[in-house]
Amino acid sequence: MSFFGLDCIKKKERELERKLRANDREYNRSFKYATNAIKTSKYNFFTFLPLNLFEQFQRIANAYFLFLLVLQVIPQISSLSWFTTVVPLILVLSVTAAKDATDDINRHRSDNHVNNRKAHVLIDRKLRNEKWMDVQVGDIIKLENNQFVTADLLLLSSSEPLNLVYIETAELDGETNLKVRQALTVTGDLGDNVEKLADFSGEVCCEPPNNRLDRFTGTLTVAGQKYPLDNEKILLRGCTLRNTEWCFGLVLFGGPETKLMQNCGKSTFKRTSIDRLMNVLVLCIFGFLAFMCTILAIGNWFWETNEGSQFTVFLPRQEGIDTGFSAFLTFWSYVIILNTVVPISLYVSVEIIRLGNSFYIDWDRKMYYNRNDTPAEARTTTLNEELGQIKYVFSDKTGTLTQNIMTFNKCSINGKSYGDVYDYTGQRLEITEKTERVDFSFNPLADPRFVFHDHSLVEAVKLENPEVQLFFRLLALCHTVMAEEKTEGELHYQAQSPDEGALVTAARNFGFVFRSRTPDSVSIVEMGQQCSYELLAILDFNNVRKRMSVIVRSPDGKLSLYCKGADTIIYERLHQSCSKLMDVTTEHLNEFAGEGLRTLALAYKDLDEGYFNEWKQRHHEASTTLEDREYKLDELYEEIEKDLLLLGATAIEDKLQDGVPQTIEQLSKADIKVWVLTGDKQETAENIGYSCNLLREEMNEIFIIAGNSPEDVREELRNARTSMKPDSAETVFLPERSLVNGVQALTDEEVNGEYGLVINGHSLAYALEHSMELEFLRTACMCKAVICCRVTPLQKAQVVELVKKYKNAVTLAIGDGANDVSMIKVAHIGVGISGQEGMQAVLSSDFSFAQFRFLQRLLLVHGRWSYLRMCKFLRYFFYKNFTFTFVHFWYAFFCGFSAQTVYDEWFITLYNLVYTALPVLGMSLFDQDVNDVWSFQHPQLYVPGQLNLYFSKKSFFKCALHSCYSSLVLFFIPYAAMHDTVRNDGKDVADYQSFALLTQTCLLFAVTIQLGLEMSYWTAVNTFFILGSLAMYFVVTFTMYSNGMFLVLPAAFPFIGTARNSLNQSNVWLTIFLTSTLCVLPVVTYRFLLIQLSPTINDKVMFKVRQARATPPPPPQRRRIRRTSSRRSGYAFSHAQGYGDLVTSGRFLRRPAVSRSTGFPGMGRTTSGFSPMGRSAGYSPTERPLNSKVPHVEVTSLQMYRTIRDPAL
């Protein structure tokens, strides 16, 4: 944002270090730090006009027209009256100015709103209510619960124990889980004692303002003692205080210097490829214009030399103008006349079309998600047509493809599989919304949102089947979930991973309710009976172990070890007695895995008291040694987790968002390559890849790149390529990179068959290295699907960047979390899923909607249409303007190259603005080749967009040729028909004015008919626009040529009577008919021949549509994709280290029930205690996110606006 830029310049020297003293305004003022007032608006009442005009004239098109205007003022040059340029220019300028003004008014409003918020500031030893904008650096501020943080503050003290405060940072980084900040003890002791606070005179010395949200360095000096400050003690503007009654903070940065503001307005301006092409074309057109004018100027020189010199008797030369100078003037005169090849209205119309198409996205009900009342939103209105050209889609997994919700779907207990529903004939039934659910009313503690369909499992529990009971007991005991019970019977679980939560909830519903835990006990309600198990040890999960166990003593004193883990791991540790059960369970596991479910095997073992005591002793020793502790513990765990007895297996569905497999299938049919970039582990990612149809069983091969050294990775990539395309791999063809930024574009390589590629984070790091990136890209681009696992946000962006750099293709990144922001910003189009993880991704995205499946509608319908419309618009627009202009060129050869126009000046003024504006706008807002249903039916329709088929340099050239032909017809037919003729009463009709009227009428008919040919979707509006514009032409013409207008301003309306006197002539109309016929004839012939000889995919589909018009098109198939697969599924565990430590240490449970007092229904409270890294662990068995935003949180003004100015325009 330029405002801040200006500020920086004003400051003579850059701030290197910030020094301030608490409660000392005098001292702090000497540094001239910014106050807390923010200003995002650009203009005020007086500066609006000059500044806005200045800005607008920085755009090439506007500046060009200003230049023309200047030319027109010079009488020797002026070939057109001033109004031909001024009227369109004023119109364009005022439309833009109006838009800028409303934007700025809104910004003013929100600035005022924010600046006038109240804060408690400690001034003169008293707390005063001050406006935000009056807060200064060095002030001490009191914040209360649920208030916005006023400025960047150093936390001094808080109401909570240990000087903790909880903040929500959703507006900064998009994460909705609460974070904890802790004040220094030395300041925390100040408490809320105003006297003490007023006496506080600590000095802070810290880094200058910057935009890094995650880092802060500085020192606090209190009474000569220095204390280091880091990010943990800082409250940033934009956060919200939660669960904390009050806190005090010292203002470090205010207003524009806060990190929030420093982060604003950095969004890079994205341009579409059509934009870039258009710029090139406009330059070409300028060149062409100069060329034409040069020819005409030379013509003028010849004419003046040979004929003009004689004609001076009738038309004396102006003083000091000889033939050479006259040619020079003619050049500029023709620049004015032929300026319509670069029409000013082009840019305005393009903006209008894009805006209109963006509104369609906002308005689309089929992209509206009613569960959380979220419509799709086009946040950028300048990229629409690019949506029709996407070649690569980069997708995040969690929250984008999946809902990040796990449901307990099936299980296998003691060799019996539960979860499927069969009808009375034994046929397995499809589970739908309507399938009868199991009634859990017998269990008052059941979670009402839990859904299960197989009644036999409940029966088994009720019948007290021991294995089933043991199964659920294990699930209720073996986990690290925290329970919170606000009111009796209303349990909330805090799980480290959604998988765990799902398992514990399942146990809860089946009568084994985990109720609460202490560091050394777990209490559960078993079929209505309260029992407490002594928790002796948690053998926690980690990535190598892939299992977790607990050792508990049951109420009747029995010692048991319960274990759950990846099936392969558990199977290695089973007692040989369960080999039979293993076989059956394996079968079930395969079946579950085939359905894409995440599985865990469960096992248990009873322990001998003596052995356990001895083991515990060793465990204690091992956990206190300093060296090799991990290893020793692992050894111990390994020792006790053996000879387990298999109990069964669980199957959890990592619920995909609705319609994800169908969407991916559609996208792949549209030849869009989907790359999944996920932070997940390889197994999980692969698993999801299968379940969402990205990887398919019928693919020839799936390559897995998991090398540990650059050489390995290179080798694996090469091998993959060899097997995909045996003949090419030997030739090392890597394109030579030239030193200048001209990087060659990689072309797509043909491969035989379909392949998939999975690459893990390690290998990806190597693959993205400079020397290998091309190798990687080549291989990856040959595959249908690519999955990158364990990628960091930065790598996500790098991958997108890589494709952007070497592939001449349009990319789209879609994601929902803060970790996707980088790739969303880098990609040509960024799409944010406005879902569960805050709004950071949405805020930096260009389009946002609630569900991944809307992507297909965005691309295949909106994108395709937008692209089609934009291309049609451009082709037609250039056609109509070229045709218009070229006629002048031909006329020059008959009027002595004197820069005489063919048309009436009013026609020139109004041609683009009135006569042809609406019809072409109508076409570009309403046109559709086939409707949305058919677009879905034939995703191949999308391919022409990727190949730039509708508008390219070639089609532009064709347009120009077509215009050339049309203009020849439009000039020479009227010429031949008129030059020697008279009216039917013998009077003149070959005069200039009649000829001008005739030509312009012919032109208007020709371009209107041409538009009719372009249009494939005639709505009533289009028809009205077209007929209306023609009618308008006649109305305006007759008005302009009327007696009244002439008598008011004879000089401006000299065409009086022309319309009446020539449009009543039959030969005029015969000429109009002839020119129209001749203009249309070749177009229709050419198109018809094309359709017959080489029909495009569009023609084919449109043909089908016509054929099927009698019968409505079949509804899109919604078949469920079911695979029979032998693949072993990923196991259901998240991949971070478990919470075992926290649980047993008891730290986690320090403040058990206080939370109720704040009245804030926060599960965040408990989470914040240990502040888990990464994704929030909120778990909900239904789709409703518990972490959803607190409704009264407003969006800060800054984030509502992303004003991007295109510097080139």
Q: Is 149 helix (H, G, I), strand (E, B) or coil?
A: coil
Task: Note whether 1100 binds another protein by CB under 8 A.
Answer: yes
Residue 75: CB minimum distance to another protein, A: 8
Secondary structure of 93-147 in the HEC alphabet?
HHHHHHHHHHHHHHHHHHHHHHHCCEEEEEECCEEEEEEHHHCCCCCEEEEECCC
Q: Confirm whether residue 819 is marked as ligand binding.
A: yes
| Bridge partner list, 226 | 221
Annotated binding-site residue? 790: yes
Q: How far is the CB of 343 from another protein (least distance, A)?
A: 22
- DSSP per residue over 513-577, as a string? EEEEEETTEEEEEETTEEEEEEEEEEE---TTT-EEEEEEE-TTS-EEEEEEE-HHHHHHTB-GG
Rounded Cα distance between 494 and 1162, Å, is 11
- By the 10 Å C-beta count (0-12 exposed, 13-18 middle, 19+ buried), 2 is classed as exposed
Chain positions 990 to 1029 lying near another protein, rule: CB under 8 A, are 990-996, 1016-1022
Q: Which two tokens mark 473?
A: 């007991």
Cα–Cα distance for residue pair 874/32, rounded to 1 Å: 53
Selected range binding another protein among 346-354, 693-701, 833-841, 1097-1105, rule: CB under 8 A: 1097-1105
379 counts as binding another protein under rule CB under 8 A: yes
Active site residue 988: no
The rounded Cα 553 to chain-centroid distance in angstroms is: 52
Contact window for another protein (CB under 8 A) among 45-53, 127-135, 769-777, 1042-1050: 1042-1050
Instruction: Report which residue type is found at 256.
Output: P
Say how far apart CA 460 and CA 962 lie, in whole Å: 79
Is 398 annotated as a binding-site member? yes
**Nearest residue (CB) to another protein, 493 versus 891:** 891
Q: How far is the CB of 365 from another protein (least distance, A)?
A: 5
Convert residues 1106-1145 into a mask of x (bound to another protein by CB under 8 A) and - (unbound).
Answer: xx--------------------------------------
Out of 363, 631, 733, 957, which residue is the one contacting another protein (CB under 8 A)?
A: 363
314 part of the interface to another protein, by CB under 8 A? yes
Helix (H, G, I), strand (E, B) or coil at 166: strand
By CB under 8 A, name the one of 129, 225, 268, 310 that touches another protein. Answer: 310
- Per-residue buried b or exposed e for 5-34, using 16+ beta carbons within 10 Å of the residue's own CB: eeeeeeeeeeeeebbbbbbeeeebeeeebb
Dist. CA 1189–CA 835, nearest whole Å:
10
- Contacts of another protein in 844-883 (CB under 8 A): 865
For position 441 contacting another protein by CB under 8 A, the verdict is no
Beta pairing class for 521-526 and 529-539: antiparallel
Q: Is 217 annotated as a binding residue?
A: no
Q: Tell me whether residue 1195 or residue 1208 sits nearer to another protein (CB atom).
A: 1195
Work out how close the CB of 662 gets to another protein at its nearest, in angstroms, rounded to a whole number.
21
Pick the stretch among 454-462, 555-563, 595-603, 889-897 that binds another protein (CB under 8 A).
889-897
Shorter beta-carbon distance to another protein: residue 342 or 1102: 1102
Sheet architecture: strand order including 218-222: 18-21, 203-206, 218-222, 225-229
Stretch in the footprint of another protein (CB under 8 A) among 274-282, 374-382, 575-583, 1147-1155: 374-382
Cβ pair 79, 334 in contact under 8 A = yes
289-308 positions binding another protein, by CB under 8 A: 307
Q: For every residue of 1065-1078, which 3-state class applies, written as one string?
A: CHHHHHHHHHHHHH
d(CA 1142, CA 1138): 9
Per annotation, catalytic residue among 111, 139, 173, 396: 396
Question: Using CB under 8 A as the criterion, what x/- string covers residues 941-980 for binding another protein?
Answer: --------------------------------x-xxxxxx
The residue within the footprint of another protein, chosen from 13, 195, 373, 430 (CB under 8 A), is 373
Shortest distance, position 945 Cβ to another protein, whole Å: 18
Q: Is 564 annotated as a binding residue?
A: yes
In the complex, minimum distance from the CB of residue 747 to another protein, in angstroms, rounded to a whole number: 25
Residues 912-931 within binding reach of another protein (CB under 8 A): 926, 928-929, 931
φ and ψ at residue 445, rounded to 5 degrees: -95, 5
Task: Give the binding range for another protein (CB under 8 A) out of 291-299, 371-379, 686-694, 811-819.
Answer: 371-379
Residue 154, both tokens? 């150093």
Q: Is 957 annotated as a binding residue?
A: no
Tokens representing 494 are: 């805090």
Q: What span, in angstroms and rounded, lies between the C-alpha atoms of 247 and 157?
A: 6
| Longest alpha-carbon distance in the chain | 130
Lookup result for tokens 């963006």: 358
Q: Is 1051 in the site for another protein (CB under 8 A)?
A: yes
Spatial contact of 1182 and 509, defined as CB atoms under 8 Å apart: no
1109 has binding-site annotation: no
Instruction: Tell me the number of residues near another protein by CB under 8 A.
Output: 106
Looking at the Cβ atoms of 444 and 1054, the one nearer to another protein is 1054
**Adjacent-strand bridge partners of 603:** 563, 646
Tell me whether residue 76 or residue 590 sits nearer to another protein (CB atom): 76
Q: How far is the CB of 1186 from another protein (least distance, A)?
A: 18
The annotation status of 820 as a binding-site residue, yes or no, is: yes
| DSSP code, position 70 | H
Q: Judge whether 1056 and 1042 are in contact, CB under 8 Å.
A: yes
- The whole-angstrom separation of Cα 586 and Cα 1050 is 97
Say if strands 390-395 and 810-815 run parallel, antiparallel, or are unpaired: parallel
Contact flag: residue 1093 with another protein (CB under 8 A): yes
Interface with another protein (CB under 8 A), residue from 286, 328, 368, 965: 368
Residues 55-94, mask of contacts with another protein (x by CB under 8 A): ------------------------x---------------
Contact by Cβ (8 Å): 1060, 1041: yes
CA distance 713 to 828: 29
Taking the C-alpha atoms of residue 705 and residue 763, their distance in angstroms, rounded to an integer, is 7
Residues 639-658 contacting another protein, CB under 8 A: none
Among positions 738-797, residues that touch another protein (CB under 8 A) are none
- Segment near another protein (CB under 8 A), from 206-214, 315-323, 789-797, 817-825? 315-323
CB of 82 to another protein, least distance (A): 14
**Residue 319: CA atoms inside 13 Å, Cβ hemisphere, count?**
0
Decide if residue 898 touches another protein (CB under 8 A): yes
**Does residue 895 touch another protein according to CB under 8 A?**
yes
Q: Is 500 annotated as a binding residue?
A: yes
Binding to another protein by residue 1088, rule CB under 8 A?
A: yes
* Annotation: binding site for Mg(2+): 396, 398, 816, 820
* Annotation: binding site for ATP: 396-398, 500, 541, 564, 598, 678-680, 790, 796, 819-820
* Annotation: binding site: 396-398, 500, 541, 564, 598, 678-680, 790, 796, 816, 819-820
Annotated active-site positions, please? 396
